[in-house]
Every structure is written in structure tokens, then in C-alpha cells.
Amino acid sequence: MEMSEAAGIELIINPEAEARAPQCPHGPTLLFVKVKHKKQEARRFYACAACRDRKDCNFFQWEDEKVSKARQLAREEFNQSRQPPFTHEQYVERYQRFVSLPSAKRIFCSDCQILLLPEEWDLHSPHCRLGDVSLGQLKRPSHLLLPLENKKTNAQYLFADRTCQFLLDLIVLLGFRRVLCVGTPRLHELIRVRQSKKEEPIIKSQLLDIDFRYSQFYSEEEFCHYNMFNHYFFGGKSASEAFQTFLCQDKGEPIIMVTDPPFGGLVEALAHSFKKIVGVWKTSRNEIDHAELPIFWIFPYFFEPRILRCFPSLSMLDYQVDYDNHALYKHGNTGRKQSPVRIFTNLPPKDIILPAEEGYRFCTLCQRYISSANRHCEKCKACTSKDGRQWKHCQTCNKCVKPSWIHCDTCCRCVLQEHTCGTAGDGCFTCGSTEHKRRECPQSAFPNRTTIEEAKPRKRKLLETDNKTTVNKCKKQAQKVSTGKRKTLKWATGKLKRKLKRKKKQKRRGQTVQC
């Protein structure tokens, strides 16, 4: 099930829904509602927070559905069966034993993605195994583990060395000494390697990630098994306390949060979790001020409106983030096209220096660093390009658009040259405007549904009729009949049944040819 606005499914965020949310193997579920044109379906439902595809997690429960104790116990048993085979504490003990082994006896099972102890060798003998695992490899587990590339759940598209080094250098330059890495294992690794070399200044980091396999390589203070879509710590109270300790320990060491969520994830759910992290950080500060937790949110540029709707203080940088294991999102000529992934931050853009050797330069008018192809538009009074190409100004639309777009008088907007006039664009499917989405539409009966906290479910109207195809067709047929001819639903039903009967008889005889 595609839980997105395009599919007409919206996320509902309110304290009551969170308190009553049932749990799936990925933690507390989220509350959704189906929305059609100007109408909201009466029944709301809970579904998995992490997996947008029912194939990955098939949890589904109506909000008003009563769950029996037997079903609840079965669900808890199933959730437990889907958890990692070892606790984090047990993983740490296994790691210490593994490191103490001679290099020749350090074996990693590539099939099971686990560090093997000597007593487990026979059990994994048929599997593909990697021997002579060095201490250097253990410090870079993302190179050892196979990436989980489900873009809707894990999306482990790992930073390329260029991007990773740039982020670390930037963090050091800006004066941060602690980094909360939310879904950025490569950056966490680089910081840990730097720390092991005792390079000054010392940078500390903690990784929050949904991939439990990292529990094998890091202590409970260095890694927390975490779901960023519902702010859930799989390790329970101990993991949550480890997170709070790292986030709130302020010994004159400024902290920044760097996050790289799956691109197929819901922005609203992510923003809700990030606001909780910001809230924890703010409550730990003694002084009353308006300071914000510094953030680097790494996401594609075309999500900018949604991100800014949730975090108005963020701004998008021109820096192109690239990945090792993604065919599209690579820097320069190695990828199929330029990476659309950018950095959103609440830090002043003028303070973030982008590398000049890659063509970035400073715009004195915008007071920020821009890409080489980005040009300042005097009419828009901004450097308008977002995708790395030079954009052009449309006089009719009064804004800059992509160079491949042209203005269509029929559609009254700029579109691709090869397009079908009259088709729905990327804007509002309630009123047709391209300036906003349906959730902000003034004509919508349910604006800003994802932020309404007092939203209450309406009573469901029960239907006695079944869902047979014939009945549904009859209803549609009855609606098509004009008011003057349509007397009753029964009449239309009989007409359709007779028509279907004639077709069935004709099919038996074979096709007839008229002369």
C-alpha cells in the first residue's frame, strides 16, 4: 500500500492516536486515513511506520477494530519472533570474543551477515564466508555488510567517500564536537576511525539506525537500534537513556544532528520524530532561549516544499550529495545524471563553505554558496536553480523554471515540451492549482490533516450489501441513468442482469457478423 498523498492516503498525527497505536515488529504503528476528492473516508487505520509496502510488513488494523486477547497474544509472539537473534549486550560480548581471536579465525558469514564464533563454524559451513577479517574491516562495518536497498524501508544508499569527508570537514570547521548520526552509518564510521587515531579536535558520535546488524560492532553508547519514522528504540529504556545521555551531555561540546532518511519515507512522520529529538535536546538546556538544535537533513531537492512546511527554519544548500551504491545519485560523470540529493540545514548558509574545486562559488547577493551553473535572477532576486542546471525565467509565470520546460498557454503553466495538455500536474488535485498541494487547498474540506491534533474519527456507516461485482456495477449503472428514466435501483439491476444474460448466450453461440 503506497502511503502517500498521490494515493490519497494521509498521515494523522495526534497524541491520542500515538497512545492507542498497536505495535508491529517495527514498533508503534501510525494512523492513516484514505482521502478522495474533497471527501474523507469514515474509517481510519493503523499501518507500519517503517514499511510503506505491505509486502515488507503486512500489519493492518482499523482504528475502531476490537482485537481479542488471543489475537493480541499471537501478535506479540509474532513481533518477538521478528526481532534480532541476540540482545545488544550479547552482541557486544560476541564482538569482544571475536576481536580476541587470531586473524585466521575471524570469519564473517556473508549469507547470514554475522560475525562467527568458533563453535558456530560447522553450522555455517555451507554458507558463503569471509575469512581473515582484519581490525580495519571491523572499524568500517558498512563495507563488510551488504546494504539493504529497499528504498521504502531501509534504503541504505551509503555516502561516497567524497561526501563523507566533506561532511566531517564541515562539522569540524563549524566547531561541532558531537554528532548524532541518524541513519548515516558511513559518517559514524569515519568519525570513529578519526577518533581512534586521536586526531584533534576529538569528535564524538552516536548512530541511530534501523539496521540491527550494527549492534555487532558498536557498544550501547555508540549505537541504538532505532526507527526514525516513529521515534522508537528497539532496545527499550536502556537504549533511550543512552540516546538522551549523548544528546544532552553539554560540556561545552556543541552537537549537530545529521540525518539521511530513506527517500521513499513520509516526510511528515520523519519531521514528527525529529521534532521529538529537538524537544529532548531543548528540555535538557537550563537557560531559556530560542536556540535550535543544528540539523543537516539530507534529502532530494524536490521534497523541499514538504520539508519547509514541517521545518520552516531550514534552507536548502546547493551541495550535491552522492552515494557509492546508487546508479543515479553519483557525482560528476560517474552517475547517469547529477545527484538530486541536497542538504537542508537551519544553520546560516553563508557559514557553510562549499568546495571551490568542485565549482561552487559564493553569491554576494544571496549570501550563500551556489553551484557553478546556478545564476542569480534579477527578477526573482535569487539564485533559483535547484537541480544543478541553469534555469530560465518565464515572463508569464513570473518565476524561473527548468531549461527543458516551455510555457503552455493551454495548461497555463510551464511544462515539458512533450506533454499532454489537460492532464493533472504535480499540484492540487482538488482545485488544479500548481502553487499548493491538496492538503493546503482553501477549497478542501480537510486542510492540514497531518497537523490537526484534535481530529476525531467519524462514525462508520455500515452497509448491509455485499461487495459483489454485480451489485457495484448495478449501482454505477443506476447513477448513469437520467433522473427522468431512473425509477428504482431494482429496475437498473434487472436491466443489467438481462444485458449480462444476453451477452452470455451470445458468447455460447459465437460471434455474429452483420451483413
Same domain (yes/no): 295, 213: yes
Q: How far apart are CA 515 and CA 512, in angstroms?
A: 10
pLDDT (tens digit, 9 = 90+) per residue, 198-212? 888 999 999 999 999
- Is 227 within the bounds of a domain? yes
Residue that is last in its domain, among 349, 372, 395: 372
How many Å apart are CA 283 and CA 270, to the nearest integer? 20
Q: Is residue 146 part of a domain?
A: no
* Span 173-187, pLDDT tens digits: 999 999 999 999 999
Give the separation between CA 27 and CA 22, rounded to whole angstroms: 8
* Mean pLDDT (whole number) for 58-87: 93
Instruction: Based on the fold, state whether residues 57 and 166 are members of the same structural domain.
Output: no
Instruction: Report the pLDDT value the prediction gives residue 435, as an integer from 0 to 100.
Output: 52
Q: Are 58 and 177 in the same domain?
A: no
- Mean pLDDT in residue range 433-451: 48
State how far the Cα of 125 lies from the Cα of 12, in Å rounded to an integer.
49
- pLDDT confidence tier of residue 162, bands split at 50, 70 and 90: very high
| Distance between CA atoms of residues 24 and 231, nearest Å | 14
Angle at 508 between CA 506 and CA 513, to 5 degrees: 45
Residue 480 lies in a domain: no
- Domain match, 289 and 186 both: yes
Interhelix angle 469-480/489-509, rounded to 10 degrees, is: 120
Measured between alpha carbons, how far is 140 from 234 in angstroms, rounded to an integer? 23
Domain that holds residue 286: 161-372
Burial classification of residue 27, based on how many CB atoms lie within 10 Å of its CB (0-12 exposed, 13-18 middle, 19 or more buried): buried
pLDDT of residue 99: 96
Q: Count up the domains in the chain and report the number.
A: 4
Res. 325: pLDDT tops 60: yes
Model pLDDT, residue 454: 39
Three-state DSSP state, 180:
strand
